[in-house]
């Protein structure tokens, strides 16, 4: 795996160089001190992965990501010193096609590297995603109970990955205020950035967005976002909880695991949506939800940064409708109104 580093700070470059040395089979492809140089170097020598800083002279990481993904697409991992000061840029870069974001490792007094575990884990996961476009679907998930079975009102379940933050902002902005139904989002993103993404989405959409607390009940008026590297499920008591199993899934948190849990507990049919993202996560779970009476929607190819996850849903016959990201929000409102009417008639 050939990895490029884009960063203008010598200490950061050195910590990244030493982190790459800890990844089995990885080597440094090249190093660029600004985004403009990175665009040119990627065009001349495309690496397997780029570690992209956000704040740099000449051209920042957001614009570099946008240009690389347009001209010579390459897996990009945002590596930044802090999400608090760079939140808008981090999520713009993710919207432009970066796969994930992670904090920059540091150097210890003895010359070693510290806090590199997350970067190493993400780099290895990206290598698996790029090398294995069709990871095995998730099945037979054990859904634990939290007490007696509780009625779970219809909700909107959304899965997203590459390009997801910007797509989520577009879709969620089009939903009515206040929200008449619960919305639960599973976005592939490092746990350290989940709270920042919640705050950013709230400012972009005008809705209340918060990270999911363990054993929280979905409720109207709030958009709930998975916040850890564990999976989030709905248990038989109608509560959201985090679980480690299954361990052998590349995507953490997994959209498939969440969708499958909704099918396993026979949740009242709502609307399930798959937005832009690399891989196939969510397609198998969406197929089960469609068979259970859910309205299922996939983002179309033209408006997706990567048409992997929604494309897999279309290929599998899991998506009832394929729409541009701009049309999905209003379609969700129509779908949920239709589900409420069907529930009323069958009562």
Average pLDDT value for residue range 19-35: 95
For 50, list phi and psi in degrees, rounded to 5.
-115, 130
Answer yes or no: do 123 and 191 share one domain.
no
Q: DSSP for 228-244? A: SSSEEEE-TTS-EEEE-
Tell me the residue range of the domain where 332 lies: 156-346
The answer to whether residue 96 sits within a structural domain is: yes
Answer yes or no: do 122 and 271 share one domain.
no
Indicate which residue of 231, 281, 300, 303 is catalytic: 281
299-247-23 Cα angle (round to 5): 90
290: which residues sit within 8 A by CB, 6+ positions away? 272, 296, 317, 318, 319, 320
Answer yes or no: do 187 and 296 share one domain.
yes
68: which residues sit within 8 A by CB, 6+ positions away? 38, 39, 42, 50, 74, 76, 97
Look at 343 and 314; give whichever has higher pLDDT.
Answer: 314
Specify the pLDDT at position 132: 47
Answer yes or no: do 167 and 311 share one domain.
yes
Asked whether the predicted pLDDT for residue 61 surpasses 50, the reply is: yes
The answer to whether residue 146 sits within a structural domain is: no
- pLDDT averaged over the chain? 89
Indicate which residue of 15, 19, 161, 304 is catalytic: 161
pLDDT band at 140 (very low <50, low <70, confident <90, very high): very low
Specify the pLDDT at position 110: 85
Asked whether the predicted pLDDT for residue 145 surpasses 70, the reply is: no
Average pLDDT value for residue range 47-53: 96
60 is catalytic: no
How many whole angstroms separate alpha carbon 335 and alpha carbon 340? 9
Answer yes or no: do 259 and 110 share one domain.
no
Asked whether the predicted pLDDT for residue 146 surpasses 60, the reply is: no
For 135, list phi and psi in degrees, rounded to 5.
-60, 155
Asked whether the predicted pLDDT for residue 173 surpasses 70, the reply is: yes
Specify the pLDDT at position 195: 85
Answer yes or no: do 16 and 98 share one domain.
yes
Asked whether the predicted pLDDT for residue 162 surpasses 90, the reply is: no
pLDDT band at 138 (very low <50, low <70, confident <90, very high): very low
Answer yes or no: do 177 and 112 share one domain.
no
Q: Would you report the helix, strand and coil content of the chain in percent, each value rounded to 5?
A: 40, 20, 40
51-158-208 Cα angle (round to 5): 90
- Which string of b and e fits 54-66 if b means at least 16 CB within 10 Å? bbbeebbbbbbbb
How many whole angstroms separate alpha carbon 35 and alpha carbon 38? 5
- When divided into structural domains, the chain yields a total of 2
Answer yes or no: do 204 and 330 share one domain.
yes
- Of the listed ranges 176-180, 246-250, 279-283, 284-288, the least confidently predicted one is 246-250
The answer to whether residue 149 sits within a structural domain is: no
Specify the pLDDT at position 260: 95
Domain boundary among 97, 131, 165: 131
Domain boundary among 131, 165, 189: 131
Question: Averaging pLDDT over each range in 276-285, 319-328, 337-346, which range is the top one?
Answer: 319-328
Asked whether the predicted pLDDT for residue 116 surpasses 60, the reply is: yes
The answer to whether residue 145 sits within a structural domain is: no
Answer yes or no: do 124 and 169 share one domain.
no
Answer yes or no: do 72 and 215 share one domain.
no
Domain boundary among 73, 97, 131: 131
Asked whether the predicted pLDDT for residue 168 surpasses 50, the reply is: yes
> Using an 8 Å Cβ cutoff, are 237 and 146 in contact?
yes
pLDDT band at 2 (very low <50, low <70, confident <90, very high): very high
The answer to whether residue 316 sits within a structural domain is: yes
pLDDT band at 85 (very low <50, low <70, confident <90, very high): low
Look at 206 and 139; give whichever has higher pLDDT.
Answer: 206
Answer yes or no: do 108 and 166 share one domain.
no
Which segments of 213-280 are extended strands (E)? 223-225, 231-234, 240-243, 271-274
Average pLDDT value for residue range 286-312: 95
How many whole angstroms separate alpha carbon 162 and alpha carbon 306? 6
The CATH number covering residue 203 comes to: 3.40.50.180
78-84-88 Cα angle (round to 5): 60
Reduced to 3 states (helix: H, G, I; strand: E, B; else coil), residue 195 is helix
188 is catalytic: yes
Answer yes or no: do 231 and 119 share one domain.
no
45 is catalytic: no
pLDDT band at 83 (very low <50, low <70, confident <90, very high): low
The answer to whether residue 144 sits within a structural domain is: no
For 297, list phi and psi in degrees, rounded to 5.
-135, 135
Average pLDDT value for residue range 268-277: 95
The answer to whether residue 151 sits within a structural domain is: no
Look at 150 and 259; give whichever has higher pLDDT.
Answer: 259
Indicate which residue of 100, 188, 229, 230 is catalytic: 188
Question: What would the pLDDT profile of 210-256 be if each residue is shown by its tens digit?
Answer: 999 999 999 999 999 999 889 999 998 899 999 998 888 878 899 99
Tally the C-alpha atoms within 13 A of residue 249's C-alpha that lie toward its C-beta. 26
The answer to whether residue 141 sits within a structural domain is: no
Average pLDDT value for residue range 319-342: 96
- Of the listed ranges 81-90, 131-140, 149-158, 290-299, the least confidently predicted one is 131-140
The CATH number covering residue 113 comes to: 3.40.50.2300
């Amino acid at each position: 795996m050939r990895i490029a580093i884009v960063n203008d700070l010598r200490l950061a470059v050195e910590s990244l160089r030493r982190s790459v040395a800890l990844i089995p089979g990885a080597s440094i492809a090249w190093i660029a001190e600004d985004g403009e140089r990175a665009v040119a170097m990627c065009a001349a020598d495309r690496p397997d992965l780029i570690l992209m800083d956000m704040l740099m002279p000449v051209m920042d990481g957001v614009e570099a990501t946008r240009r690389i993904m347009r001209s010579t697409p390459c897996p990009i991992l945002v590596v930044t010193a802090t999400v608090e000061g760079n939140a808008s840029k981090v999520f713009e870069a993710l919207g432009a096609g970066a796969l994930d974001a992670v904090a920059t490792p540091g150097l210890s007094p003895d010359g070693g590297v510290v806090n590199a575990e997350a970067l190493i884990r993400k780099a290895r996961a990206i290598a698996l995603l790029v090398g294995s476009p069709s990871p095995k679907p998730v099945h037979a998930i054990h859904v634990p109970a939290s007490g007696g079975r509780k009625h779970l009102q219809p909700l909107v379940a959304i899965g997203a990955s590459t390009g997801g933050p910007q797509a989520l902002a577009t879709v969620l902005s089009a939903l009515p205020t206040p929200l008449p139904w619960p919305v639960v989002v599973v976005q592939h993103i490092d746990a350290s950035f989940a709270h920042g993404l919640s705050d950013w989405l709230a400012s972009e959409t005008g809705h209340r967005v918060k990270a999911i607390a363990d054993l929280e009940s979905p409720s109207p008026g709030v958009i709930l976002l998975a916040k850890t590297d564990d999976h989030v499920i709905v248990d038989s008591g109608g509560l959201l909880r985090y679980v480690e199993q299954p361990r052998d899934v590349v995507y953490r948190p997994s959209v498939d695991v969440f969708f499958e849990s909704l099918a396993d507990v026979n949740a009242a049919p709502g609307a399930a949506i798959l937005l832009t993202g690399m891989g196939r996560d969510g397609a198998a779970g969406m197929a089960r939800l469609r068979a259970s009476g859910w309205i299922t929607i996939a983002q179309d190819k033209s408006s997706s940064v990567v048409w992997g996850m929604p494309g897999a849903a279309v290929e599998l016959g899991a998506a009832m409708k394929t729409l541009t990201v701009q049309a999905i929000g209003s379609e969700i409102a129509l779908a949920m109104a239709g589900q409420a009417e069907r529930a009323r008639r069958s009562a």
